[in-house]
């Protein structure tokens, strides 16, 4: 039987491209995000291209009741999720004191709480069926503190730590658990995050498609921590070997705003 894969944040960027990867495997998809029109367009394209089932589930993960609602809706439809892809997430540029507190708390809800709750709801079924797994989308931001995007970096540190720990816990169950840690990637992320204008350094961005293909392959191969691209590998390597105060100074310089 083909796997059922639930992907959050499938309406654009990396999530949309991950949906294409799992569709190419022949999986049945459940596409989750707020933008119904974008999800419907993608679902139609994937049904035609891969002769798969694709279901759209419009949901706002910043609302605390959403993960439970998704779980109950699928249970009522007798759909078991084999693979959960927790990709939905966003950032916000600026110093902690300047970014409105409700926006920061919303980030914790989407990037951490919803991801954790969805994992907690769907994992027991996977363990029982000895089938499937979880692919969380973290970031290279998770490897060090991020002045100028403090809460975002901290949410991704949670995703990295949580996923690596979970991977050890489920070892031997037949499941796979991975965390994909992209660096700068072409997507809507920048326009959503941009409160103040950020003076970007000239770093090359990977395409969302290249990141997704890497993450999908890493998950299939059972790689736990997946960092796509040489530039991102170097960034993570430096974060690990440099004295802890240096990477945060570098990130502060990188994330500085022009106003």
Ligand X SMILES: NC(=O)c1ccc[n+]([C@@H]2O[C@H](COP(=O)([O-])OP(=O)(O)OC[C@H]3O[C@@H](n4cnc5c(N)ncnc54)[C@H](OP(=O)(O)O)[C@@H]3O)[C@@H](O)[C@H]2O)c1
Distance in Å, CB of 126 to ligand X, minimum: 21
Interface residues toward ligand X, by CB under 6 A: 8-15, 33-35, 59-62, 87-90, 110, 137, 139, 182, 184-185, 187-189, 192, 208
Residue 14 Cβ vs ligand X, minimum distance, rounded to whole Å: 4
What's the closest the beta carbon of residue 141 comes to ligand X, in angstroms?
Answer: 6
Smallest separation (angstroms) from ligand X to the CB of 222: 21
Nearer to ligand X, 163 or 187 (CB): 187
Residue 133 or residue 183: which is nearer to ligand X going by CB?
183
Residue 149 makes CB contacts below 8 A (sequence gap 6+) with 91, 92, 93, 94, 141, 193, 255
Give catalytic status of residue 152 as yes or no: yes
Which position among 152, 153, 214, 254 bears the catalytic label? 152
Instruction: Name the closest residue to ligand X (Cβ).
Output: 13
CA torsion 226-240-170-158 (nearest 10°) is -90
- CB closer to ligand X out of 67 and 132: 67
Looking at the Cβ atoms of 14 and 99, the one nearer to ligand X is: 14
Catalytic positions = 152
């Amino acid at each position: 039987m083909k796997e059922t894969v639930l992907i959050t944040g499938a309406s654009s960027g990396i999530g949309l491209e991950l949906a294409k990867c799992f569709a190419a495997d022949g999986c049945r998809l459940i596409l989750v995000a707020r933008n119904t029109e974008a999800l419907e367009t993608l679902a139609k394209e994937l049904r035609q291209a891969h002769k798969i089932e694709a279901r759209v589930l419009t949901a706002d993960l910043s609302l605390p009741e959403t993960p439970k609602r998704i779980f109950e809706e699928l249970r009522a439809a007798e759909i078991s999720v084999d693979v959960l892809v927790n990709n939905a997430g966003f950032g916000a540029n600026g110093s902690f004191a300047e970014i409105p507190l409700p926006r920061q708390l919303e980030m914790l809800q989407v990037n951490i709480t919803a991801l954790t709750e969805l994992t907690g709801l769907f994992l027991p079924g996977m363990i029982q069926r000895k089938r499937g797994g979880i692919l969380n989308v973290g970031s290279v931001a998770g490897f060090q503190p991020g002045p100028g995007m403090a809460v975002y970096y901290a949410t991704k540190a949670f995703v990295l730590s949580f996923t690596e720990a979970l991977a050890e816990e489920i070892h031997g169950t037949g499941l796979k658990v991975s965390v994909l840690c992209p660096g700068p990637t072409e997507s809507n992320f920048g326009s959503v995050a941009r409160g103040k204008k950020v003076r970007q350094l000239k770093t090359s961005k990977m395409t969302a498609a290249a990141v997704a293909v890497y993450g999908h392959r890493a998950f299939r191969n059972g790689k736990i921590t997946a960092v796509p691209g040489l530039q991102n590998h170097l960034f993570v390597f430096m974060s690990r070997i440099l004295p802890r105060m240096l990477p945060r100074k570098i990130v502060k310089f990188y994330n500085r705003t022009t106003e």
